[in-house]
Amino acid sequence: MSRENVEIVRRAITAWNGDDISIYRDLYAPDVVAEPGTLGLEGVGPIRGPDAIMAIFQRMRDSFERDELIADHALAEDESLVVPVRWRGVAQGTTTVVEQRLFIGYRFREGRISFQGWYDSLEKACEAVGLSPAAPQIEFAD
């Protein structure tokens, strides 16, 4: 199942970079939980459901002139996946590029994302989804 799960995340990243995240509704399980992890605001707990997650994404994206996710591989095993990414954006009204390295952890159920969390280290992301940092690496297809 790892290859199929990588493809789901690759599609999500492509949609994000294409500026239309509406396909996320089809990629998320109805009871998906997103955890801000070590990158979230203090006091912000789990976010439940596709619409709530997408609303937060949209608010974040609205504060940027443009932004993108850059990823080339994932660590994958069974129904867990961790994707090291670079997020890069330009805030509204500026020309300054902001860049952040993060690790997104995923769990899947029945071909959909059932959990997503954002972390500042590979180890924390792997721990959150029950994946070994030495899990097999799968390259994203172009």
**Nearest CA-CA partner of 82 in 54, 34, 116:** 116
Q: Is the pLDDT of residue 127 over 90?
A: yes
Give the pLDDT of residue 20.
86
CB-CB contact of 106 with 29 (8 Å): no
Number of domains in the chain: 1
Residues 42-56 have pLDDT tens digits of: 556 799 999 999 988
Please state, in angstroms and as integers, the Cα–Cα distance from residue 88 to each residue in 4, 16, 22, 53, 122, following that order: 26, 12, 20, 20, 19
Residue 142 has pLDDT above 70, yes or no: no
Question: What CA–CA distance (Å, rounded) separates 123 from 66?
Answer: 29
What is the DSSP secondary-structure string of 37-64? GGGSPTT---EESHHHHHHHHHHHHHTE
Collapsing DSSP to helix, strand or coil, 9 comes out as helix
- Segments forming the whole domain that contains residue 72: 2-139
Q: How far apart are CA 90 and CA 84, in angstroms?
A: 20
- Residue 25, domain CATH: 3.10.450.50
Predicted TM-score of the model (pTM): 0.91
Q: CA nearest 9: which of 101, 66, 83, 89? A: 83
